[in-house]
Structure 1
C-alpha cells in the first residue's frame, strides 16, 4: 500500500473513530451530553484534530443521521424482500421500522427529533429519501381499484408514518409508562392493517 493510500485509510479510520465515540457518549450519557471536547477526550485526541474532520457538532450529527438512515433502509429492505404480497410487505416494513426505533433509540431520536432538538436535516438527504421511496413504492402497489397519484401515495405514507411514529414517540419519551410489547405490537398491526384496508375502500 502506497503512502497516499495509507494516509487516506488513516483519515477514514479517524473519522469513523470520531463518529463511534460520539455515538458511545450519547448511548451512555444522552444527546445533551455530546460535545466536541468530550469526543476528543474519549478518543484521546485534541479538540482541534476533531475540527479538522468536522467543522462543528452539527456536522457530526449530520453524519450520524446519515448512518441511521442507512441502517433503517437495510432493515426495511430485508423485511420487504421476505414477502410477495404488497400487504405483507407493507406490514413487515413498518414492523422493521418499529423494531429499528427501539434497537437504535439514539439514531431514531436524532433522525426524527424525539425528545430532543433535531439535527437540521432536510428531506433532500439521499439516505432519508431512499427510505421514503421504498415505502412509497409498496404503498403505490396497494392501490388496485383506482388510479393513483403522487398525492395519494404521499397522504397514505404520512398516515402510516404519523400513527407509527406517534406510538414510537410515546414509548421512547415515557419508557416507564409504556404499554407491554404485546399490546404495542397489536396496536401497531391493527393500525397498519386498518390503513392498508382503507386504500381500496
Structure 2
C-alpha cells in the first residue's frame, strides 16, 4: 500500500471513529448531550482535529442521518424481498420501518425529529429519497387503475407515514418505550391494512 492510500485509509478510519464516538455518546446520554468537545474526549483527540473532519456538529449529525437511512433502506428492501404479493410487501415494509424505529431509536429520533430539533438537512439526502422510492414503488403496484398519478402515490405514502410515525412517536417519548407491544402491533397492522384497502375503494 502506497503512502497516499495509507493516508486516505487513516483518514477514513478517523472519520468513522468520530462518528462511532458521537453515536456512543448519544446512546448513553441522548442527542442533547452531544458536543464536539465530548467526541474529542472520548476518542482522546483534541477538538481542532475533529474540526478537520467535520466543520461543526451539524456535519456530524448529517453523516449519522445518512447512516440511519442506509440501515433503514436495507431493512425495508429485505422485508420487500420476502414477499411477492404487493399487499404483503407493503405490510412487511412498514413493519420493518416500525422495527427499525425501536432497534435504532437514536437514529430514528435524529432522522425524524422525535424528542429533538429535526435535522433540516435530511430533506435533500439521496439516502432518504431511496427509502421514499422503495415504499412509493410498492404503493404504485397496489393501484388497479394504471397509470397512477404521482400525486396519488405521494398522498398515500404520507397517509401511511403519518399514522405509523405518529404511533412510533407516541411510544418513543414514553419513559418505558413501547408499552403493550402486542396491542401496538395490532394497531399498526390494522392501520396498514386499512390504508391499503382504501387505495382501490
Who is 1:190 aligned against? 190
Look up the match of 1:200. Answer: 200
Distance 1:177 1:96, change over 3 A: closer
Equivalent runs, 1:127-146 vs 2, <5 Å: 127-145=127-145
Distance (whole Å) between structure 2 residues aligned to residue 174 and residue 165 of structure 1? 14
1:174 Cα shift? 1.3
Tell me the alpha carbon deviations over residues 127-169 of structure 1, each in whole angstroms, 9 at most, x when there is no partner. 0000000000000000014642000000000000000000000
> Which segment drifts farther, 104-113 or 172-181?
172-181
Q: Are the equivalent residues in 2 in contact too, given 1:90–1:135 (CA < 8 A)? A: yes
TM-score (structure 2 length as normaliser): 0.98
Q: CA deviation at 1:180?
A: 0.7
Tell me, what secondary structure is at the counterpart of 1:118? coil
The answer on whether the counterparts of 2:65 and 2:122 sit within 8 Å (CA) in structure 1 is no
Deviation of the 1:177 alpha carbon: 7.5
Q: What is the Cα deviation at residue 96 of structure 1?
A: 0.2
Q: In 1, are the aligned partners of 2:62 and 2:122 still within 8 Å (CA)?
A: no
Contact 2:136 2:154 in 1 (8 A): yes
1:124 Cα deviation after fit: 1.9
Gaps of 5+ in 1: none
TM-aligned CA distance change 1:134 to 1:18, over 3 Å: same
Q: Answer yes or no: is the 8 Å Cα contact 2:109–2:115 preserved in 1.
A: yes
CA contact (8 A) 2:26 2:33 kept: yes
The CA distance in 1 between the partners of 2:158 and 2:119, in whole Å, is: 20
- Once residues 137 and 123 of structure 2 are traced to their aligned partners in structure 1, the CA distance between those partners, rounded to angstroms, is 17
Cα deviation for residue 119 of structure 1 reads: 1.6
Which sections of structure 2, spanning at least 5 residues, go unmatched? none
Residue number in structure 1 paired with 2:176: 176
Which 4+ residue blocks in structure 1 deviate beyond 6 angstroms?
none
Distance 1:131 1:175 in 2: 29
Compute the RMSD of aligned alpha carbons: 1.1
Deviates more, 1:118-127 or 1:41-50: 118-127
> Could you tell me which residue of structure 1 aligns to residue 50 of structure 2?
50
Counterpart-to-counterpart distance in 1, 2:44 and 2:122:
33
**Over residues 24-50 of structure 1, what are the superposed CA-to-partner deviations in whole Å (9 max), with x where a residue is unaligned?**
000000001000000000000000000
